[in-house]
Chains A and B, each alone.
Chain A
Amino acid sequence: MEIERRRFPRFSTSIPVGIRFPAGPHKEGWGRTVDVSAEGLLLETRFPVHAADVIYVTFVLYDGAFFENLRARVVRVSYQEGFYLAGIAFDDVVDKQTMRDVIAALATEGRVPLT
């Protein structure tokens, strides 16, 4: 029996995400989300990211729910044909309750497909 380890459900959605890197050759980059949840997201980007990196992400969910410079840590990374697929976990200071509510509302409206 497979046990779901995640506390919050994930929702597939491809939205632009801005990335700020506190260290490294690039100060700014961008990509797209693959899926989002209240605790983190999976993003695809051409800008190099490494596991355990701290990054700051900015994105807008539908209906103007704007999340700016959320502090997150890269939990896992894979590289595929010029793109880094990075799973990131939001930091504890992120308002996860708000994010959960927004995502849940969007999912209810059918704007964000549920995986």
Chain B
Amino acid sequence: MSKILLAGLPAKDSDRLQKIFGKVNAPCEVLSTVDAAMERIPANPPALVIVSYEGAMEPIWGMSEVLKTSAPVTAFLAVIPDHKLETAMKVMKAGAYDCVTRPLQMLDVLAASKRAARQKGRALFVGRVEPPKRSLLPIFSAVLGGFLLVLGLLKTYYGPPADQISLASAHLTGLQWEGKNLWVGDWFDSNILCYKLKPGLIKKFRGLETQALYKMADGQPMLLCNTPSAIVTIGTDLKMRSHQRLLGLPSVQTASIPGTRPTGLVWDGKDIWTSDSDGSTLYRFGEDFKVIETIKSIIPNPSGLAYEGQSLWVLGGSPLMLARLEKKEYGYVWRGPYAVRNLMIEDVSPSGMAIAFGRLWLVSGGYPMMVSASMADLTRRVAGWDADKNMRGAG
């Protein structure tokens, strides 16, 4: 008879055990029931019997009795369904030398089998039972996977841009952030450039890469803003134009603007606003580019205009100050002004302004860098100014 008898085990367990014992060249025989095994054992006892405990103790008791009377040097192991101490103790007290639990692990099966057989003075197989050597492949895969994940994050993570970014032009004018895109004008080359924010985990390296360049065919842009349907510009000829986003930026609509020195151009989601430095005035335009409202700026000589958080932000004065115009049901409310210190080089006036990522962004016609400052840091009061001044401009 074979050395190891597998009696009454589920097919999956039998296959697994045969595979395990095959590795140590210990032959197995499979019998479908414990009763059949109990009949065969007295004639030719194996070195080891393995049975399954499925809740009924009768097969365990029966096998134990047969082994005691007919095969006293045959070792006896049981496979139990769960890792419960109560079950194992019950089966071991009934006669099994040891219990192994599912899923059947090679080390547990070989160790228990060898020891059980040795207890009966039998050598089940030659060779030591050792824990399996840990494969390096899972560790290597995990390291490689982690590296690729970090690389992916580096390539795809979009965070706020670096606080200062070079735009490689000393003729910057007009500025607008549109999500991850930055629009900026270059009056000298009559270009409107669209940049895209580069992804990266480290903020310092999140610069810009050129996405598109539009050359204005009929003027030099001073200011620009985006609406859903068009790019709107104010040129050096003091005309406001809306352009199709095509080669050459063909104009769709043109109109003269009030004032003599436009310094700001924004879209508030519904209307276009401009600021005029000489007149210290803000203008609101309808779809036909006709003025529908004028408001006096509390900041003298505004040099920039932005729209953010349902408010108009006006930059201007010397030293630079920032104020916020909020629309209420009863009129407009001014908030501020707030000091803007140490942002631009002294005596350099901003020529473009935008608010995005919680920061105020400025460009200047004589400085190639776009600079920024935190809005939270900036919105501190300037001492000596009235707060919450209500104003409504005359039409």
Q: Is the CB of B115 within 8 A of A83?
A: yes
A96 close to B (CB within 8 Å): no
A95 close to B (CB within 8 Å): no
Q: Looking at chain B's contact residues, is the secondary structure mostly helix, strand, loop, or mixed?
A: helix
Give the interface size class of chain B. Answer: 20 to 34
Q: Out of B93, B110, B119, name the residue touching A82 (CB < 8 Å).
A: B110
A28 close to B (CB within 8 Å): yes
Q: Is the CB of B85 within 8 A of A18?
A: yes
Q: A32-B98, A81-B129 are in contact. Are A20 and B85 (CB under 8 A)?
A: yes
Q: Is the CB of A46 within 8 A of B85?
A: no
Interface 0/1 of A80-92, CB less than 8 Å to B: 0111000000000
Most buried by B among A16, A29, A82: A82
B290 close to A (CB within 8 Å): no
Q: Out of B89, B99, B107, name the residue touching A58 (CB < 8 Å).
A: B89
Q: A28-B83, A81-B128 are in contact. Are A16 and B115 (CB under 8 A)?
A: no
Smallest distance from the beta carbon of A60 to chain B beta carbons, Å? 7
Smallest distance from the beta carbon of A27 to chain B beta carbons, Å? 9
A13 close to B (CB within 8 Å): no
Q: Which residues of B contact A58 (CB under 8 A)?
A: 85, 89
Q: Which residues of B contact A83 (CB under 8 A)?
A: 111, 115
Q: A28-B83, A28-B85 are in contact. Are A82 and B111 (CB under 8 A)?
A: yes
Smallest distance from the beta carbon of B6 to chain A beta carbons, Å? 20
Q: Is the CB of A82 within 8 A of B108?
A: yes
Q: Which residues of B contact A16 (CB under 8 A)?
A: 88-89, 92-93
Q: Is the CB of A30 within 8 A of B88?
A: yes
Smallest distance from the beta carbon of B54 to chain A beta carbons, Å? 19
Interface 0/1 of B92-127, CB less than 8 Å to A: 110001110000000110111011000100000000
B130 close to A (CB within 8 Å): yes
Q: Is the CB of B97 within 8 A of A30?
A: no
Q: Looking at chain A's contact residues, is the secondary structure mostly helix, strand, loop, or mixed?
A: strand
Q: Which residues of A contact B93 (CB under 8 A)?
A: 16, 60
Closest to B128 in A: A81
Closest to A45 in B: B98
Most buried by B among A28, A58, A81: A81
Q: Is the CB of B119 within 8 A of A14?
A: yes
Interface 0/1 of B59-86, CB less than 8 Å to A: 0000000000000000000000001110
Smallest distance from the beta carbon of A8 to chain B beta carbons, Å? 25
A44 close to B (CB within 8 Å): yes
Closest to B100 in A: A46
Q: A46-B108, A81-B128, A82-B108 are in contact. Are A30 and B119 (CB under 8 A)?
A: no
Q: Which residues of B contact A60 (CB under 8 A)?
A: 93
Interface residues of A in 1-34 (CB under 8 A from B): 14, 16, 18-20, 26, 28-30, 32
Q: Is the CB of B97 within 8 A of A81?
A: no
Interface 0/1 of A38-63, CB less than 8 Å to B: 00000010100000000000101000
Q: Which residues of A contact B89 (CB under 8 A)?
A: 16, 18, 30, 58
Most buried by A among B84, B85, B110: B85
Q: Is the CB of A44 within 8 A of B85?
A: no
Alpha-carbon separation in the docked complex, A81 to B118 (Å): 12
Q: Which residues of A contact B131 (CB under 8 A)?
A: 82
Closest to B99 in A: A30
Q: Is the CB of B85 within 8 A of A30?
A: yes
Q: A14-B119, A28-B85, A30-B99 are in contact. Are A46 and B130 (CB under 8 A)?
A: no
A-B contact pairs, 29 of them (CB 8 A): A14-B119, A16-B88, A16-B89, A16-B92, A18-B88, A19-B85, A20-B85, A28-B83, A28-B85, A30-B88, A30-B89, A32-B97, A46-B98, A58-B85, A58-B89, A60-B93, A81-B114, A81-B115, A81-B128, A81-B129, A81-B130, A82-B107, A82-B108, A82-B111, A82-B112, A82-B114, A82-B115, A82-B131, A83-B111
Taking A30-B99, A81-B114, A81-B115 as known contacts, 10 extra A-B pairs with beta carbons closer than 8 A to each other, sorted by chain A number, are A16-B89, A16-B93, A18-B85, A18-B88, A28-B84, A29-B85, A30-B98, A44-B115, A46-B111, A58-B89
